[in-house]
């Protein structure tokens, strides 16, 4: 070995060990300076190490500035360096970096470097994280086949993940999954997670059960995915079952697992169980705090939510924009107008966080619920961004509840012009008309809807019974299996009336006579679910229901009566929040 070669070798070794000691970005920058001084800017070994170090310190731009520098010689790069680069860029949460990963793959091919079995998992991960995975994903799949790596277990598992990140891609994901001669825990977790991502939580739970039958042992990642499904479904029994499963199977209680558990319990109605998980967590991230605050907000426990936020600040955790959504919605659900205002102002002044439309939406809701419709309107006019349909719908509900019918009507007309195919907008307008007793206008709406083929989203309520999740859909055909359920709804109606209940007919969309309207109300999904629970469950046990829409005025009133007449606690999670019905009253204090 000649002298200059051994000198270069020594420099290379020095830098590699220097990079090993880099545990902060300033140290990384020092190493970068040494690297340039020693002329190692084209050394693939050093550049690879530098890339993976800068990636683990979330400072990939340092590495990119080196690789893109005019001094570097990309012709020296090997497959290993490209793999490292693609992996590091795929790992980033910035879409532009994910895209860069994909372009490095092309560059690699242009330089006639062969991808190996490690390349495709990295590439597919980048594609999954980048915008429009459905465009590049199938091409990458074809490339994996061409280079004979498509049968590799790691590649297939990442294919499942990639396809399930494409909208509607769970079919393709399932095809890959079903075609695998051998699967492992990652394949199952990826598929279960894919179902959750597509909003198919029931399928996710079903696949989890299949996984257990097949003898593949779930791990902490599987459990996190199943817990998200659980949170989505509001399946408390399943949530509790998973909790004991984790204990029994000694599945490591990682931070994401505890966060998922805490979030699922809160979203399934066991907020105190969620708080217990939170208190016992050995370490917490901002996600843990946010889940607790959101959970308390959903249960109308705004004071406690705000207290938790203050505790978080005392603990030295820096708030982000997401946690403020929880704080503001807590204030709104608990009628804490002044606090809400203060927190909103503090976002920018104290924490330098620019409010987004979601935060403004919380403020509009805060004023609206408190009956301050004018302030809500003024707030909308002073927002730095233009209002979106969510904001308009919040305002319209406020107009309806607080009797500002003309304003409500004019806003709804604008909204209908923006979103003519959105069924819930017509429902809102129809309800405004019903309150102002303009029946002819109301029936006009119905005609427009049927003419244009605009459909209402059907109401759907979920209820767990005997370890199964039962689904009730509003206006479902009278199924023979549920004959007794419909009879029970009729009987409930009679009993409630004796107790003083008067059906609220104004929200029925159909242009039919009063008696038929009452029948239509009887078919609302939560009434079916409650009737089922009254028939099947032991006296005085709590009834828990999760539904997809907001509770309608009639079901809200009826459920209050049911809780008293039948002596049951009834917990309903609707689109927005929890309602705890007990002894004729609701925890939302009729504010929802």
Find the binding residues for DNA in span 43-82 (CB under 7 A).
Answer: 79-80
Q: Applying CB under 7 A, does 549 fall inside the site for DNA?
A: no
Check residue 166 for interaction with DNA (CB under 7 A): no
Label each residue of 112-163 as H, E or C. Answer: CCCCCCCHHHHHHHHHHHCCCHHHHHHHHHHHHHHCCCCCCHHHHHHHHHHH
Smallest gap from residue 94 Cβ to DNA (A): 14
Beta bridge partners of 572: 545, 579
Enumerate the β-bridge partners of residue 464. Answer: 469
| 193 binds DNA per the rule CB under 7 A | yes
Please select the residue that binds DNA; options are 92, 99, 204, 220, rule is CB under 7 A: 220
Between 267 and 527, CB nearer to DNA: 267
For DNA, the closer of residues 333 and 560 by Cβ is 333
Q: Which stretch binds DNA (CB under 7 A): 36-44, 382-390, 401-409, 492-500?
A: 382-390
Q: Which stretch binds DNA (CB under 7 A): 59-67, 269-277, 287-295, 495-503?
A: 287-295
Query: 260 or 533, CB closer to DNA?
Result: 260
Pairing of strands 468-473, 543-547: unpaired
- Residue 153 lies near DNA (rule: CB under 7 A): yes
Binding-site size for DNA (CB under 7 A) equals 75
| Residue window 105-144: x/- pattern of binding to DNA, with contact defined by CB under 7 A | -----------xxx--xx--x--x----------------
Counting contacts by CB under 7 A, is residue 151 touching DNA?
no
Task: Return the bridge partners of 460, or none.
Answer: 473
**Contacts of 591 by beta carbon, 8 Å cutoff, 6+ apart:** 333, 335, 369
Contact of 434 with 507, CB cutoff 8 Å? yes
Residues 233-262 that bind DNA (CB under 7 A): 254-257, 259-260
Nearest distance in Å: CB 297, DNA = 8
- Segment lying near DNA (by CB under 7 A), choices 301-309, 316-324, 481-489, 520-528: 316-324
Q: List the one residue from 41, 174, 393, 547 that touches DNA (CB under 7 A).
A: 393
DSSP SS3 for 470 = strand
As measured in angstroms, the least distance from the Cβ of 329 to DNA is 4
Residue 569 CB partners (closer than 8 Å, separation 6+): 542, 543, 563, 580, 581, 582
How many whole angstroms separate alpha carbon 61 and alpha carbon 395? 44
Burial class (CB in 10 A: 0-12, 13-18, 19+), 416: middle
Among 43, 63, 172, 288, binds DNA (CB under 7 A): 288
Q: Are strands 543-547 and 460-465 parallel, antiparallel or unpaired?
A: antiparallel
401 contacts DNA (rule: CB under 7 A): no
* Residue 570: its H or E element: strand 570-573
Q: What minimum distance in Å lies between the beta carbon of 448 and DNA?
A: 22
- Closest distance to DNA from the beta carbon of 117 (Å): 5
Q: Least distance (Å) from DNA to the CB of residue 260?
A: 4
Q: How far apart are CA 241 and CA 50, in angstroms?
A: 45
Instruction: Decide if residue 325 touches DNA (CB under 7 A).
Output: yes
Does residue number 263 form part of the binding site for DNA (CB under 7 A)? yes
Q: Do 571 and 542 form a contact (C-beta atoms < 8 A)? A: yes
- For residue 430, the SS3 value is helix
Least CB distance from residue 207 to DNA, whole Å? 13
**Please, what is the minimum distance in Å from the beta carbon of residue 40 to DNA?**
19
Question: Do residues 145 and 108 lie in contact, with contact meaning Cβ atoms separated by under 8 Å?
Answer: no
Q: Which is nearer to DNA, 393 or 524 (CB)?
A: 393
Is residue 375 part of the contact set for DNA (CB under 7 A)? no
Handedness of CA 388, 392, 393, 395 (dihedral sign): positive
């Amino acid at each position: 070995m000649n002298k200059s070669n051994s000198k270069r070798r020594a420099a290379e070794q020095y830098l590699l060990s220097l990079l090993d000691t880099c545990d902060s970005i300033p140290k990384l920058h020092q190493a970068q300076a040494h690297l340039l001084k020693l002329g190692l800017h084209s050394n693939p070994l050093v550049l690879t190490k530098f890339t993976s170090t800068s990636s683990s310190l979330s400072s990939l731009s340092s590495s990119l500035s080196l690789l893109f520098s005019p001094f570097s010689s990309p012709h020296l790069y090997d497959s290993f360096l490209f793999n490292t680069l693609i992996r590091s860029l795929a790992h980033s949460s910035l879409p532009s970096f994910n895209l860069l990963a994909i372009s490095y793959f092309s560059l690699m091919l242009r330089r006639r470097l062969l991808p190996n079995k490690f390349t495709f998992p990295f590439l597919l991960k980048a594609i999954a994280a980048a915008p429009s995975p459905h465009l590049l994903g199938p091409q990458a799949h074809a490339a994996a086949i061409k280079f004979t790596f498509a049968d590799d277990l790691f590649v297939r598992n990442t294919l499942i993940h990639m396809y399930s990140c494409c909208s509607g891609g769970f079919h393709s994901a399932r095809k890959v999954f079903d075609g695998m001669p051998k699967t492992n825990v990652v394949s199952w977790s990826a598929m279960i997670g894919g179902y959750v991502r597509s909003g198919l939580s029931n399928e996710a739970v079903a696949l989890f059960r299949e996984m257990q039958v097949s003898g593949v042992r779930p791990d902490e990642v599987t459990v996190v995915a199943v817990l998200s499904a659980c949170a989505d479904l509001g399946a408390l029994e399943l949530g509790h079952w998973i909790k004991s499963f984790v204990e029994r199977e000694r599945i490591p209680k990682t931070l994401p697992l505890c966060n998922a558990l805490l979030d699922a319990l809160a979203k399934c109605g066991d907020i105190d169980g969620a708080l217990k998980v939170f208190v016992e967590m050995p370490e917490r991230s901002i996600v843990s705090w946010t889940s607790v605050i959101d959970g308390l907000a959903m249960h109308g426990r705004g004071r406690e939510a705000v207290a938790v936020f203050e505790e978080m600040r005392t603990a030295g955790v820096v708030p982000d924009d997401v946690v403020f959504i929880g704080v503001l919605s807590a204030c709104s659900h608990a009628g804490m107008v002044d606090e809400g205002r203060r927190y909103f102002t503090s976002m920018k002044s104290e924490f330098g966080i620019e409010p987004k439309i979601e935060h403004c939406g919380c403020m509009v809701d805060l004023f609206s619920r408190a009956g301050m419709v004018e302030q809500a309107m003024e707030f909308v006019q002073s927002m730095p961004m233009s209002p979106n349909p969510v904001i308009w719908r919040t305002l319209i509900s406020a107009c309806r509840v607080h009797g500002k019918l003309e304003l409500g009507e004019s806003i709804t007309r604008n909204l209908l012009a923006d979103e003519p195919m959105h069924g819930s907008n017509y429902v809102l307008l129809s309800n405004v008309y019903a309150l102002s007793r303009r029946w002819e206008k109301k029936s006009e709406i119905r005609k427009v809807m049927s003419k244009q083929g605009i459909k209402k989203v059907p109401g759907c309520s979920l209820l767990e019974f005997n370890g199964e999740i039962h689904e009730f859909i509003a206006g479902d055909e009278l199924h023979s299996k549920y004959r007794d359920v419909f009879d029970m709804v009729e009987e409930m109606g009679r009993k409630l009336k004796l107790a003083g209940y008067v059906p609220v007919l104004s929200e029925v969309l159909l242009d039919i006579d009063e008696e038929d309207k009452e029948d239509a109300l009887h078919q609302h999904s939560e009434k079916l679910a409650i009737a089922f629970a009254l028939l099947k469950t032991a006296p005085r046990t709590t009834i828990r229901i999760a539904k997809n829409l907001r509770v309608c005025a009639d079901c809200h009133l009826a459920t209050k009566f049911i809780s008293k007449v039948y002596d049951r606690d009834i917990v309903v999670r609707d689109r927005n929040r929890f309602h705890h019905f007990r002894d004729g009253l609701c925890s939302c204090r009729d504010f929802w």
